[in-house]
Each structure stands twice: as structure tokens, then as C-alpha cells.
Amino acid sequence: MSTTAAHDADVLIVGAGPVGAVTALTLASAGIQVVCLEQGVWPDPAKVRAGQLDFEAYSARHWAGDPNIRQTRWDYPVEVSDSDVSVVMNCAVGGGTVLSSQKWHRAKPSDFRVRSMDGVAVDWPFGYAELEPFYNRVERQVGVSGLGGDTAYPPGESPPLPPVPMREFGRRVARAQNELGWHWWPGSNAIATRAYRRLGACTQRGTCSQGCAEGAKFSADVTHWPDAVQAGAALITGARVAKVLIGAHGRAEGVLYLDDQGREHRQTARNVVLAANGIGTARLLLMSADGAHPDGVANSSGLVGRNLMVHPWAPVAGVFDEPIGGAQGAWGQQIYSLEFYETDASRGFVRGGKWGLQPTGGPVAVTRSFPNSAEQRSIWGDGYQETVARRLDRSVKWVLVAEDLPEESNRVELDPQHTDQFGLPAVKLKYRMSENTERLIAFHTDRMRESLETAGAVEVTNQPPTPASGGHLIGTARMGDDPSTSVVDRWGRAHDVPNLFIFDASIWPTSTGVNPTGTMMAVALRNAEHLVKSARSTAAAS
Amino acid sequence: MNEPALSPHHRMLFSALAEALVPAGGAYPSATDADVAGAGLEIVLRARQDLVAPLVAVLDRAEDSAPLDFVRELEADNPAAFSVLTLVTAAGYFAQPNVRTAFSFFGNEANYTHSAEDDETLMELLQPVWDRGPCYRSVAAEDE
């Protein structure tokens, strides 16, 4: 295998998802020379099949969130036989935002103080107030739609776009929440309700996670990368990074990567930023082990790969006795509830979660999303068509994002048995839901059932936690002030390697109980601006 | 693009299983009425050629079984194979015009709904939420 060397960069970014995108845009706009290596390629517009006859069959594979199902040449295998969940992630320009339904949230102030307030896990090294201005700016960049003034948050700036229009199912459940005296709020989504910058306007097809035909859904390949490239960032696709190179003085010198023909390249840089998600970043650090770093790079704490948190998703579906518009609509969330978000010790668990109300989809989706296992009753055979007719456009579901707390035993390892197509190690996931998470889910799904029954649902199904719910990949390279108990500092800088940074959700000490992309991008923007300042002060001093 | 490869014999076996899964008798077309084993199958397998091999594997096992007994056993014993069979059946069924008409669902077309009245309703619905006031936990002032 030959190795070719590329020109030196000021900053090399690994991963072109939302974190890599906002980082590249920030750095390149500040005049810093940026190279980004992305394992996947640009999303293919030909895969957007909304409205076509084969849409549901096609999407079931080609828009699958699980790389083990999607099986593109850009994915790497993830072995999940020792895990309660499989993963949802995407190697592509835009990363997970290409597939995400784009429910958008900020974390809440208490999320940053879990240890102080609830006596569990650890606090973040900064709080909500420090992050708030970065939320504001990121929300303007991505075109968040929603309504300001949510009583479950401190006062702050409103989203730039109005919320997605409420359908009948949203109104019914909102009335039920009022009747119960429970919090709800119009959905906040990274879905453009009007044409906004590079985004079109949503037409409520309900295909947000299977290709938006209008280009209304936020996706970092649309909203960020064109501007980043225009500002001077170099984006190299089909580049699988195999190793972070550490020099004799303990500094990162760059990376080795393989192109799509398996040829090895060396990309050097003065700083390296990892943005490959909670699995990919840990995998790369572990793959970079050598004689000087036998347990992997930046791993003197032994915490690289540990404390994986995934936000198990638990849905509850309700069927109504007349059409309520539940087949379509923005697939994000019509409304959400944070009624049971904060800790209440009387419930028998700590922390909480967020409910998002969403459609149930087309006829194949309502066939497949009400698992028989919940009721031990097959829908096939006599009465199949009537069952589908009873659900289609007449059903809705609450989906719980459950806060997962860090457990060192939940972890990402290199798989000793499997590799990708070029011989790089696959990932093995070891993840078990904790008793706290199980109790939390049981409580919340019972309350969600109560909500839908109050709204008039004639049939309610508590579904088991969704197996494919490892879509929020968090915690595997914890941030903190103490190098013995964390991997990176408060700015994402590795304690062990002064010019190696991690900006993705790997560094979060705790997972919060909301959809994470907003916080991922706000943290990345904060850290990228700090890196700009550091780079400038270093340049001025030299 | 290669055409899906399913022999007439396999097509016949599939037709019998699809009819067991989506039978006649109610107000809606059966799998046979909807030509799931013909035009429906073509649409699905053209989009999903990766399903041809696992579908054929299922059909080979169905050779000497009564269709209804076979699908019941498959559902109980082999969820992965059952999932392939039912995805092809359901996706083929709902791709057919007579089925779409019967269910009044014509695919994920643009379906925009919104009016000024909706905005007024939203504000009315939110009043009780505002009336209850803030509902987040306060942290130290510098953290808020």
C-alpha cells in the first residue's frame, strides 16, 4: 500500500455531519485553512422518492437509519448482539441530519447540573447561559421553526420561522394535555415552514426521514457545506480515516486515511478536530492505538468508548375513530411535552424525558409500526385491510426521548471479528438499559397512554422501546476539568494531546432528555470560535 | 438496471401466500384483486432487488405447505423472513391504483394545510399553558 501526503492544513476535521459542518463554516469564515475528511459522499437526489409508487418499499432500505440494514459501501458494520439497541447513523456529507426527522430542542438549564441537582452522574463544565447565544445563532443558521415563549424554558430568542401548522391530531392531543393540566408546546423543528435561505418551504408530505422533496428539512449538506466550501474549506469525500497520527512530542500530526480505492493517504494538520459521532470518534481513537498509546489515543483516563448513552425511544400509538390527519404532516413534531422532564423523587427514578407528537405514516408504515409483540395478535389474514383502514390517517403517536444516564459498562469497542471492506475494525456495541431508564420509560409511556386516552383514542398501544433507537450517540469521550475522569477539557481539547479536539456529542457528560442536534451544533460553534481565538493568539505570539 | 428475477412458479407461490395475508371477503380488494403477484411485485422488486433472494428463500420453504398455515408458522418462528414476505406484500398491495382508491391514500404527495383560523385556535389552546406559568427548574443564576 502506498502512502501519499497532502498539503498541511491549519485544521483537519474528521466527519462532515452537523458538527463538522458548523465547525468548518466557522473556521473557514475566519480565514483558517480547513480540510474535512468524510467517509461517505454527498446525498444522492435520485434517492428522494416521496410520492412515488415504490416509496415505502424503497425507503425501508435506502433510507434506513441502521447502517447494518442500509449497507452502503460507505458504512462500517456495527455488531449489536450485546446491545439492547441497534444504531441509527449515517456516513455522508450532512451525516445524521440527512436521515433525521429534525425535531429540534435546546437542552434545559438543569441538564447541565445533573450532579448538583439530582446527585447522579456529573455536571457539565459550563451551563445553559453560556451556551444560549450559540443556540440562537445555530437556530438562525439551520432555520428552526417553532414558537418562542415556551414556559418550560427560560425566556430567550424565538426561532426564526413559525411552527409547523397544527393538524387535527395535534389539536386533539393539545386539548387533552390542557384537560390534564400538563405542559405542551407547538413543535420546534429544523424544518422550514417558509422558504428560508437555501431551504424550500415544507409541504407536509411526511417524508422528512426518507428524503425531503422540497428541500425544506434542515440538512447540513444543504445549509452549511455549500457556504463552508465557498469560504474556502476543502471537503474530501470517500475518505475513511484509519488512524490519528501522534508525533514524538505527543502532538497530533494529522491522520492516515483510505480513499474509496483503498489507497492510503496522509493528511497533516496543525490541529485535528474529530466530529465522527459518539461511535465513530471513539472507534477512531481506539483504532489509533500504537506502542506509545496501547489503549488508544487520548485515553489515559481509560474512558474512551465508555459511558455510551443513546436515548432509547419509546412510542405510544393511539387510534381514533375518525380521520385526524395522522398519515402526513411534518414528520418532526406537531407538539411536544416537557411535563415530566424534571426529576420528581416520588416517581422512583431520576431525570425524565421529552414527548414528541408525530404522524404514523402511510399504509405500510401503519402495518409495520404497531408491532404484534405488544398485543400478541397478528394483523395479517382476515381483517388485515380493515385494521389498516382503522389506523390510516386516524392514528398518531407520542414518542419519548428518555434521558439515559452514563454507565461505564455501556461502551463502544473495536470488534475483534468483523471489519469494513478495507479491513478496518468494525464496532462492537455493549449497551444495556439501566433500571433507572426502564422505570423512567414505564412511567412516561403510561402517562402518554393517559394523554391519548384523554384525547379520545379508542385504541392505545404501548410499544416496547424501539430496538433501532440508538440514534443519539453520546458520552464516549467525556468532557471535564479533571484529566483522570474525562477525555477532553471544557473546550473539547484532549487532555492528553494538546492539538487534538473532539466537538461531537461524544464529549457530553450527560445526555439531556431532548433531541440533541441543537446542542451538538451549539457546543461545536462555541468550541470552534474558541479554537479560532486560540489559533490567532498562537499565530500572533509566533 | 436488471429486471427482478422471479420464476412463474415462485410467482405462483407468492400469489398464494399474499392472498393468505391479504384475503378476500371484506370491503377492500384482496391481494389477488390487486394483482400483488404481478404488477405489485414488479414495482417492489424493481426498487428492492436485494429482496429477491430472501423472498425466493421463503417461497422455496412454502412449497408443500398450506399457505395460511405456512404464514402463521413463519410469523411465529422466523420474524426476519416474515418481515421480508410482508414488506413485499404490503408495499406491492398499496402501490396498486384500485387499492389506493379504496383506502383514499394516494401516496405522500404535498399536503399543505394551514389557515389564519388555525393560528387563532393555536393561541386559544395555549392560554391554559401560559396561565400555569413557568415550569422549569431554576439553577444558579449564572447558569440560567
| pLDDT, tens digit, 9 for 90 and up, residues B103-142 | 999 998 888 878 888 899 999 999 999 999 999 998 876 5
- pLDDT-above-90 percentage for chain A: 88
Question: Across the A/B interface, how many CB contacts are shorter than 8 Å?
Answer: 190
Contact A381 B20 (CB under 8 A): yes
Q: Chain B contacts of A154, Cβ < 8 Å? A: 136, 144
SS3 A144: coil
Nearest by Cα to A37 from A265, A308, A226, A199? A265
Residue A145: what are its φ and ψ, rounded to 5°? -110, 145
Chain B positions touching A175 (Cβ under 8 A) are 125
Tell me whether B109 touches chain A (CB under 8 Å).
Answer: yes
Asked if B75 is an interface residue toward chain A (Cβ–Cβ < 8 A), one would say yes
Res A43: pLDDT: 96
pLDDT at A8: 87
- Smallest CA-to-CA distance from B110 within A96, A202, A356, A354 is with A202
Q: Looking at the complex, does the CB of residue B8 fall below 8 Å from at least one CB of chain A?
A: no
- Contact: A181, B132; criterion CB under 8 Å: yes
DSSP state of A428: E
Closest partner residue to A367 among B72, B90, B108, by Cβ? B90
Q: Which residues of B touch A350 (CB under 8 A)?
A: none
Distance from CA of A289 to the nearest CA of B (A): 37
- Tell me what pLDDT residue B9 has: 96
Residues of B in contact with A166 (CB under 8 A): 118, 121-122
Q: What is the pTM of this model?
A: 0.95
* Partners of residue B95 in chain A, C-beta under 8 Å: 53-54, 57
Q: Which residue of A has its CA nearest to B49?
A: A58
Q: Residue A211 and residue A61: Cα distance in Å, rounded?
A: 13
* Average pLDDT by stretches of 10, chain A with 542 residues: 67 98 98 97 93 91 90 92 93 96 96 97 97 98 98 97 95 98 98 97 93 95 98 98 96 97 96 98 98 96 98 91 93 96 96 96 83 65 94 95 96 96 96 96 96 96 78 96 98 98 98 98 98 82 64
Q: With an 8 Å Cβ cutoff, is B12 touching chain A? A: no
Question: What confidence score (pLDDT) does residue A1 get?
Answer: 45
Tell me if ipTM is over 0.85: yes
What is the per-residue pLDDT across A151-192, written as a single tens digit (0 to 9) for each?
Answer: 999 999 999 999 999 999 999 999 999 999 999 999 999 999
Please tell me the distance in Å from B9's CA to the nearest CA on chain A. Answer: 23
Q: Which residues of B touch A183 (CB under 8 A)?
A: 129, 132, 135
The per-residue pLDDT for A7 is 63
Q: Name beta bridge partners: A271.
A: A11
Cβ-defined contact of B118 to A128 (cutoff 8 Å): no
Residue-wise DSSP of A39-100 = SS----GGG--TTSTTHHHHHHHHT-S-HHHH--TT---EEEEEESS-B----STTGGGGT-
pLDDT reported for residue A470? 79
Helix H, strand E, coil C: the string for A189-203 is ECECCCCECCECCCC
Determine the pLDDT at residue B122. 95
Q: What is the tens place of the pLDDT at every residue in B19-65?
A: 999 999 888 999 999 999 999 999 999 999 999 999 999 999 999 99
Three state DSSP letters for A3-17: EEEEEEEEEEEECCC
> What 8-state DSSP symbol labels residue A374?
G
Distance from CA of B79 to the nearest CA of A (A): 11
Helix axes A517-541, A18-29, angle to 10 degrees: 30
Predicted local confidence at residue B4, as pLDDT: 60
